[in-house]
Amino acid sequence: MNKTLLHIILYTAISMMAWQGNAQELRDYISLNGKWYFSIGDDSNWAQDHYNHDSWEQIRVPSLWEHQGFNGYDGFAWYRREVDIPIKAQKLSLWLDLGFIDDADEVFLNGELINKSGQFPPAFKTAYNAHRLYKLPNQLIRYGRANVIAVRVYDAYNEGGIISGNIGIKAEIHPLIPDISLEGKWRFKTGDESYYKAIEYNDRNWEQISVPRSWEEQGYDGYNGMAWYRKTITIPEHLQEEALVLLLGKIDDVDETYINGILIGQTGEISDHFFFPYNEAWKALRGYIIPRRLYQSTRTLSIAIRVQDRTQTGGIYEGPVGIITMDKYIDYWNEKRNK
């Protein structure tokens, strides 16, 4: 059987498995239980990696801050801790497990916001019962050096802080790791025009936002509707003869994905009607075959992603995002299927 045809047949089968989601299997890698630097109050400078926290109190994590000298305190507080992540971890997919936090939080790695749960005042919303498990973006990790984790917490009443769990950095077991990472800054624009997919379209005036991360967390809070992402990349010469798959992680809600103006895949259907031809499309892990003709004549690819968000969170909100060989992609799903 033709190898390309075999790839397509296998890809069709494993793509259906992606609709079951991509629940991570994690193992303990670096424990962060124990003493963290801590201060009540709120200052945006405390998120920065260069801030000197040596004069702060130290309290145990996980534990209520009420049990450690801050009885009756409700309001904002910050935790900070440095952690060395070894160079060998570059081949791993790492997650930060902060257990359960009462009530709302924002988490920064080396000065960059990576995730949050709940909402701070004035539109306060608790997330005390949500397990905080946040992906550590590869491009923000300083391998072989100290990394600064800063956690901003708001407690409205009763107990407060990082209250329970097995706190630490976890490594994903058999992760899906792209050959080329596309995580980081992408061009972004709300609205919808058909010419946004064109290879010759000039997107230099568009905003830049981080991928993967919801657009609500990046200045588009409350926005539901149409938006586009764009990025131009060059395929390395050593991958030019490989069958390649574009990984787009998870997108809320539905998408159409174009390369050099050509539709290469979609999940769900963009429509004026509130209708999902596929159930719970926002949970699906996107993996789209890149037609060989698009990168064998020219190694430059213009990726354009049309996204429609119906409610709540929107955009490319979870990775992995990148390009992987078909063989590695098939191996990943075969192992998942056989467990």
Domains of the chain in start order, with CATH, are: 3-22+177-338 (2.60.120.260), 26-172 (2.60.120.260)
* Helix, strand, or coil (residue 316): strand
Between CA 318 and CA 306 the distance in angstroms is: 16
Is the omega angle on the peptide bond into residue 122 within 30 degrees of 0, that is, cis? Answer: yes
On whether the CB atoms of residues 107 and 114 are closer than 8 A, the answer is: yes
Positions of the chain with pLDDT lower than 70, given as ranges: 1-24, 273-279, 339
Question: What pLDDT, on a 0 to 100 scale, did the predictor assign at position 149?
Answer: 98
Whole-number pLDDT of residue 41: 98
Work out the number of other CB atoms within 10 angstroms of the CB of residue 199.
15
Q: What is the pLDDT of residues 1-22, one digit of tens each?
A: 444 444 444 444 445 445 444 5
pLDDT at 334: 86
Which pLDDT belongs to residue 219? 85
Is-contact 20 337, C-beta < 8 A? no
Residue 74: predicted pLDDT? 97
The whole-model pTM stands at 0.76
The CA–CA distances, whole Å, from 95 to 133, 137, 147, 179, 319 equal 7, 9, 14, 19, 12
